A and B are shown apart, each in its own frame.
Chain A
Amino acid sequence: MSTSRRSFLWAGGTGLAVAGLGWPRFAAAGQPERTPAPVKPPASADLAELAQSPLLADAALAERAIAAARKAGASYADARLVAWRREQVSVRDAHVSGVRRSREYGLGLRVIADGAWGFSATWRLDEKSIDALAKQAVAAAKTLAKLRSEPVELAPIATVVGQWISPHRIDPFTVSAGDKANLLIAASQKLMAVPGVGHAEASVEIQREEKLFISSEGARIHQVLFRVLPQLGATAIDRKRGRFASRQHEIAPMLAGWEHVEDAKLIDDAEQIGEDAVRKLHADPVEPGEKTVILAPSNLWLTIHESIGHPTELDRALGLEANYAGTSFMDPRATGELRIGSELANFVADRTQPGGLATCAWDDDGVSTERWPLVRDGVLVDWQTTRDQAAWIRDETKDVNGHACSYADSYSSVAFQRMPNVSLQPGKDETTTEDLINATDDGILITGRGSWSIDHQRYNFQFGGQMFWEIKQGRLTRPLRDVAYQANTVEFWRSCDMIGGEGSYQLGGSFGDGKGEPSQANAVSHGCPPARFRVNVVNTGGGR
């Protein structure tokens, strides 16, 4: 079989082995030009589109809602008109299995009355409904205020009037669903032509989020965000041995237009994906135990999300998410002192990063987005915050008006603190993935996203991956299967002893960062170079 022959070649290869694997090529596909440290969002795309927005016609209703809320006794009110468009095209085994387009549009009104939050939302955009909405929100805030022990405190901010569209070359909604399906079918056909591949799944999801934010303080902010998510996967089946294995492409979702999908070259990569699925099926099971692993950016981004992103959310640390997402092992009182990693662990939060899914110009409180350090030289130095959280941490971090982390995933959702793009900074030299491999005597290279699970305080985690390559004496030797790595967050980041340079830095991300009750989805990216750790490797094969 061609697969095993090629594996043999790779095992015997030298420098060529790495170049032949294909994983750096996938992961790099469609990455935006890297700007190391932006401090403001990238330049807006064509703003003419905003002048024609149907939302402008309803701005008067939003003003009306705010005025009615103020009249009913609100000390503060903001109204968000939010229009979502989504399109999903799915292909299974090289034929189309779903074409779905959706729109959602409505108004969410948030108020503070008697020191408590109130919120009401509706899709019925008429004056009568809006007046009733305002009364309902204020009445609810006043009712619940009686049970509050302290009032909500909003940090003062500069009033913003502004507009922004996320940069994109091609509006993804201008590409027909048929063209999208045909691209996915072509990739799937190529993938299924690989001997041993039984099934293919491919899809693309595109999003357009438009919002007009108006506040009782005079803010008026109009933004449009485009996001795209291509996916391609193969399943190889060995019926006789009762085994099957799946391989997903490692392409990242991006804040971008259709050009991200074109640049991804799914068709070119399809054969490799199919071959990898077969390779996984016939790979040797991993021997569990304490091991060295090199985690590619396509794997490490999710570990950063779970082990650093979530525990540096201030509301979690203070118990506001205790009933659902959980709390944090990091204590706000230890800010500036708590060591959570080696000197190489430098994390920044950044809602201005080009391509980052959480990037925008202003958050859903109307605060300008920014970039700031969370962990410096392994020590916790700051938190993710919003306007109404700034006062809680000001003594520790001198937070003025929060770090603009407010987000609501729909007109019908209340805005609260959500994760910005949180990224591990690359090393100062030009270390490459190949350098990391060559410097490792005995280990495993893990690429791509697999299964993931972490406890509610973010100590104990266990992650899988897509591809696992054994490393011996600085060379990739053979693929392995059934690999997961388990570790304690602090021990994991303290064990980090080698990271890649700026050239090896890449973004990964997800549309589905979940938090809050009712649960809301946040789109967020995490950049990182490849990095090396000591972990407990688990065999997930279940004995078969």
Chain B
Amino acid sequence: MATLDEKQAKAITKIALSSAMAPELVVTIRDRRTGNSRFAQGQPTTEGDVETLELAVTASVEGRSATAVGNRSDKASIQALVAEAEELAVLSPIDPEHMPPLPATRTLDVAGHDPATAKLGASERAKLLEQALAVARAQSIEIAGYLEHHDESFTVATSAGMFAWWPSSEASLSVTCRTLADHGSGWAGAVSHRAKRLDAEALARTAAEKADLSRDPEPLEPGKRLVVLEAQAVADLLGFFVGALDARAADEGRSAFSHPDGGSRVGEQLFDPRIEITSNPTDTEHPAQPFTGEGEPQRMVEWVANGVLRSLVCSRYWAAKTNQKSTPRPSSIHMRGEEVELLDLVRAIDEPAVLVTRFWYNRMLEPRTILATGLTRDGTFLIDEGRITKAVKNFRYNESPLTLLNNVVAFGRPQRVMSGGIVMVVPPMVVKDFNFASSSDAI
């Protein structure tokens, strides 16, 4: 069954809004059809076709608010959900930071729904799996991976007149190849709102090639090293930076962007002047959700320009309190790069360096400096005289994304990478003095 069209979505929000006794109501609907297939040991393992619905109603009465969430869309259930939110709200203490719902506002026009992707099912999944499995079979290499696609609509409506509906689709495929006897492992992944962009065979070939190259990894001393971070590795670290872009935390002295004398460091040259980080939900190749769960429109935002910190995320409450413009948490992050292929970046390096495919189990250690920890995984190589010469054992890093933004030597071509929740389009980067803290035997 297809997901809700605009008319159906509007009808549901209308039932909720018209049955409300509370003066303020915000309704969101996320309606999704997901299909997935996993594979491992050279064969499919589990799979699923799943329908989910999330209908959320936030009711507010004189600064008292509560949210009730359900997964039924019939009239009686919607009305009961509204009544539940209202009952919870009146019993809740007053939230002094309560903000009224948003009035009707225009949102950016974003085309993020691909009908062919929305229609995918088990037989299309099987075809893609077959291509990936065939590569592994031909090379007698272990393969495991995951294919997922979804068709979704997201709707927000408020009692103040806002209504926004956005249909979207997405497909992603990730592949891990391993050579069991001699400790090789390689990974490749891709995601797009158009399933047609997924080349299962090419991804499997990359993963297999990396697994082959990474056989018999040798230990290398940890320490500060010159690194080539593939785009996925850049995104894995940059996520912490995006998470730290918060005006309130900065103003309250709880952030890497707090100024010692009060306020934030917005306007300061904090990074290499080549660093440019923006949000652009309308990018036709990489569209992103054009509004938030409150119905606040996403905009084009310059976070960092010429290495200067330009903006921080600012909630509507904090914006009103500190007399600045509100800026929602972004749905997309783009980082500027150069039109240089990854292997050309490698060729240009004339001293020993480490190439990192991706990072794993990344966790924040210290928010004061955005110091994070995690490990390299599935393809870590030594570069010598412009060539990948051998596989090296994985490292644990203790490093901050701020180092990436300051110690950059060169950029490659930006590409969309796998990232939870938001669209990230970032380049591979050559970075100096990257801190590998210890070595790991993991393969």
Cα of A117 to Cα of B40 in the assembled complex, Å: 13
> Is the CB–CB distance between B366 and A456 below 8 Å?
no
Task: Given the known inter-chain contacts A144-B44, A147-B44, A517-B36, please indicate yes or no for A455 contacting B440, CB distance below 8 A.
Answer: yes
Task: Given the known inter-chain contacts A101-B88, A453-B361, please indicate yes or no for A177 contacting B66, CB distance below 8 A.
Answer: yes
Interface residues of B in 362-406 (CB under 8 A from A): 362-369, 371, 373-375, 377, 394, 396, 398, 400
Cα of A196 to Cα of B149 in the assembled complex, Å: 50
> Is the CB–CB distance between A150 and B442 below 8 Å?
no
Q: Which residues of B contact A41 (CB under 8 A)?
A: none
B174 interfacial by beta-carbon distance below 8 Å: yes
- Expressed in whole angstroms, the minimum distance between the Cβ of A422 and any Cβ of chain B is 19
Query: Out of A129, A144, A460, A544, which one reaches B126, CB within 8 Å?
Result: A144
Stretch of A164-172, A178-186, A427-435 on the interface side: A178-186
> Is the CB–CB distance between B374 and A486 below 8 Å?
no
Q: Which residues of B contact A139 (CB under 8 A)?
A: 122
A414 interfacial by beta-carbon distance below 8 Å: yes
Q: How large is the interface on A (under 10, 10 to 19, 20 to 34, 35 or more residues)?
A: 35 or more
B260 interfacial by beta-carbon distance below 8 Å: yes
Task: Given the known inter-chain contacts A100-B67, A319-B178, A456-B360, please indicate yes or no for A198 contacting B252, CB distance below 8 A.
Answer: yes
Residues 133-165 of chain A: 1 if any B CB is under 8 Å from the residue's CB, otherwise 0? 000110111011011111000000000000000
> Is the CB–CB distance between B92 and A99 below 8 Å?
yes
Residues 32-61 of chain B: 1 if any A CB is under 8 Å from the residue's CB, otherwise 0? 001011111111111111111110100000
The A contact surface, by secondary structure, is: mixed
Stretch of B94-102, B322-330, B333-341 on the interface side: B94-102
> Is the CB–CB distance between B46 and A414 below 8 Å?
yes
The B contact surface, by secondary structure, is: strand
Task: Given the known inter-chain contacts A143-B126, A456-B377, please indicate yes or no for A120 contacting B41, CB distance below 8 A.
Answer: no
Residues 518-544 of chain A: 1 if any B CB is under 8 Å from the residue's CB, otherwise 0? 100000000000000000101011111
Query: Out of A181, A199, A240, A538, which one reaches B398, CB within 8 Å?
Result: A538
Cα of A117 to Cα of B49 in the assembled complex, Å: 12
B224 interfacial by beta-carbon distance below 8 Å: no
Cα of A419 to Cα of B69 in the assembled complex, Å: 28
Q: Which residues of B contact A318 (CB under 8 A)?
A: 41
Stretch of B139-147, B158-166, B287-295 on the interface side: B139-147
Q: Which residues of B contact A96 (CB under 8 A)?
A: 92-95
Q: Which residues of B contact A324 (CB under 8 A)?
A: 146, 174
Cα of A24 to Cα of B373 in the assembled complex, Å: 29
Cα of A459 to Cα of B68 in the assembled complex, Å: 43
> Is the CB–CB distance between B396 and A147 below 8 Å?
no
Q: Which residues of B contact A129 (CB under 8 A)?
A: 1
Query: Out of B89, B174, B366, which one reaches A541, CB within 8 Å?
Result: B366
> Is the CB–CB distance between A147 and B36 below 8 Å?
no
Q: Which residues of A contact B442 (CB under 8 A)?
A: 326, 329, 455-460
- 15 chain-A/chain-B pairs, Cβ below 8 angstroms: A98-B67, A101-B84, A104-B70, A104-B71, A120-B48, A123-B51, A140-B47, A149-B42, A177-B92, A242-B260, A242-B368, A322-B176, A452-B363, A457-B443, A542-B400
B residues with a Cβ closer than 8 A to A are 1, 34, 36-54, 56, 65-72, 84, 88-89, 91-97, 121-123, 125-126, 129-130, 133, 142, 144-146, 148, 174-176, 178, 185, 187, 252-254, 258, 260, 262, 360-369, 371, 373-375, 377, 394, 396, 398, 400, 437-443
In the A-B complex, the 10 residue pairs with the smallest Cβ-Cβ separation, listed nearest first, are A102-B69, A140-B122, A542-B369, A460-B440, A455-B442, A457-B442, A99-B66, A178-B91, A517-B146, A119-B48
